[in-house]
Amino acid sequence: MKKAGGAFLTELLLATVLVLIIAAGFFGIQHIPGFSLEPEAKALIQSVGDNEICNVNLLNLIRSPNEDGTLGDTLITSYLTKDYTVFNETTTNILNQVMLRRWVMNLSINNRVEATFGDPAGFVAVPCIAYVPLPQPFFSNCSFSEIQTGFDGYEINFTTPDGNVTMEIVNQFVTDSDKIGGFGVYPTSEWTTIPETAIIGEPTTINDTLNADLLILQIYVGDESEEVLIPYELTISEPSEDPDGLTEVHLTKKDLVQQCSIALNLFVELNNE
Amino acid sequence: MATSVEQPQTLIYVLGVTVIFLASALIGIMYLAQIDISQEYTLYNIQYSSTVSRMVNSPTCFALEESFELPEGYGTETQVQAGIIDWWKFNSGITKVCSDGRIIYAYLSSLDGTLQKQLLTGRDPLTALSDSDLESIDNWNTKQEKYYVLVYKDSQLIPAILEVRIKG
């Protein structure tokens, strides 16, 4: 009986200690710095405002006027010369004056980080993004846009980064009837059937083919065998009221913005106040 | 004979575990009951965000609205430059539509220090705020943020900081 009584007291003591430890843990955990459920809930709510601040600041940052034109232009220059000193100094100066919190900015192209500004010390942040388009001459695969003019029967050739496009404007005539859309004369154009393998697919959008001032073709340029097809838009329009019917043919590449721009990601420290 | 000793021990174990479980559950419920998300605080932040967003992005507040000519025969069109403050609008004060009945303090200062202007709802925008007004604003226990904006003045864009406080 003594043994049983001793065991009972031991178990009771153990159970009491365990309960006290759990109780102390529950009440003590909220006094650990940085641990509380309540601030997490607040942070989610506050991110709405934080994101607004991030977007406004970043948007105005890249269009801020400076010696090159805008800070966005300075960014392009920095990227082309791979010297981010001026951009970094200006950006840091502005954001340090404006931000009441810490910030980090990443510069990336096609999801590849090229440079980082600010203090990259870890903190919970709200991100936002802005794109600065690259100038076409420095990024050959992007932003192809070319305008050519041709009369009836002329062959028009485009040399794009993704392949050659050849088309022939045939059977063009103009009429001065039915004024639509502000133009006085309207060309009606036809084109030969798919002229080269560079153009794959039938025209998908044609506006007013019988009496038109604007014809739009959605085409794909590329090598069909390699299944690399890049979307382009071909626009045939009558640019003036000249009854001779000078036809303007405009070929534009439908770029992916992340491939043809510098992406700026700004991370602003979450406000936990 | 060994069972006469083990049976009380089993009972003690069961009782002990039950006590610990019940105590833990009770403490857990008490702790969870303490978690309280302040509804007032939530509304305040949404109010602040929506109000400042309207001030910066809406042409009914301070956002610049430009008009441009469309091709011949199509007339003119207007475009709002979100994030760019029209100095003329800011200089004219906070309208009732913009403030939506709230008491707002806005301080615009250019980075080069050439422009500085303070506004308070209900006060003449052409008159500087009094010391008592500023002292009163200092005592507002409200959210305070800075926004990097561009100010359109005399056909030029001037980098500036907009500071907004809304009386709770």
Q: What is the CATH number of the domain that holds A102?
A: 3.30.450
Q: Does residue A129 register a pLDDT over 90?
A: yes
Beta bridge partners of A69: A66
Alpha-carbon span B158 to A131, nearest angstrom: 22
User: How many Cβ atoms sit within 10 Å of the Cβ of residue B79?
Assistant: 11
Residues in chain B within 8 Å Cβ distance of A7: 5, 8-9, 12
A105 close to B (CB below 8 A):
no
d(CA A42, CA A124): 13
Mutation site, B18, B47, B49, interface A, largest A CB count within 10 A: B49
Q: Which two tokens stand for residue A227?
A: 């299944």
B48 and B123 in a single domain? The answer is yes
A176 and A205 inside one domain: yes
| pLDDT tens digit sequence for B11-26 | 777 887 888 788 778 8
What is the per-residue DSSP string for B25-43? HHHHHHHHHH----HHHHH
Q: Which residues contact B120 (CB under 8 A, 6 or more apart)?
A: B94, B103, B104, B105, B106, B129, B133, B137
Distance CA A118, CA B160 (A): 20
CB contact under 8 A, B16 and A4: no
Please tell me the total count of domains within chain B: 2
State whether A205 and A116 are in the same domain: no
Whole domain around residue B30: which residue ranges?
A: 1-36
Q: Do B72 and B47 share a domain, yes or no? A: yes
Place of tokens 């979450």: A270
Q: How far apart, in Å, are the Cα atoms of B27 and each of A108, B18, B35, B95, B164?
A: 50, 14, 13, 53, 43
The answer to whether A38 contacts B147, with C-beta atoms less than 8 Å apart, is no
Per-residue pLDDT at A189 exceeds 60: no
Does residue B32 sit in the same domain as residue B58?
A: no
Cα A14 from Cα A34, distance rounded (Å): 32
For the residues A139-162, what does the mean pLDDT come to? 75
Q: Distance between CA atoms of A201 and A215, rounded to whole angstroms? A: 16
Reported as a pLDDT band with limits 50, 70 and 90, residue B151 is: very high
Residue A16 lies in a domain: no
Q: Are residues B79 and B154 in the same domain?
A: yes
* pLDDT for res A190: 42
Section A2-13 average pLDDT: 71
User: Is there a single domain that holds both residue B110 and residue B98?
Assistant: yes
Residue A68's pLDDT band (cuts 50, 70, 90): confident
Instruction: Identify whether residues B59 and B31 lie together within a single domain.
Output: no
Are residue A237 and residue A263 in the same domain, yes or no?
no
Contact: B83, A60; criterion CB under 8 Å:
yes
Asked whether A160 and A223 are in contact (CB, 8 A), the reply is no
**Interface contacts (A, B; CB < 8 Å):** 110
pLDDT mean over A157-185: 56
Tell whether B79 lies on the interface with A, counting CB pairs under 8 A: no
Domain that holds residue A216: 145-254
**Are residues A149 and A246 both part of a single domain?**
yes
Question: What is the share, in percent, of chain A residues with pLDDT greater than 90?
Answer: 18
What was the pLDDT predicted at A199?
47
Shared domain for B94 and B145, answered yes or no, is yes
Is the pLDDT assigned to residue A63 strictly greater than 70?
yes
Q: Chain B contacts of A11, Cβ < 8 Å?
A: 9, 12-13, 16
Q: Per the domain annotation, does A30 fall within a domain?
A: no
Q: Specify the range with the lowest mean pLDDT, choosing from A148-162, B103-117, B126-140.
A: A148-162
User: Are B70 and B142 members of one domain?
Assistant: yes
| Closest partner CB to B150 (pick from A42, A63, A99) | A63
ipTM of model over 0.85: no
> How many structural domains does chain A have?
2
Q: Are residues A126 and A166 in the same domain?
A: no
Give the mean pLDDT of chain A.
Answer: 72
Q: Tell me, what's the pLDDT at A175?
A: 44
- Mean pLDDT lowest among A150-159, B9-18, B103-112, B125-134: A150-159
Q: How far apart are CA A129 and CA A113, in angstroms?
A: 13
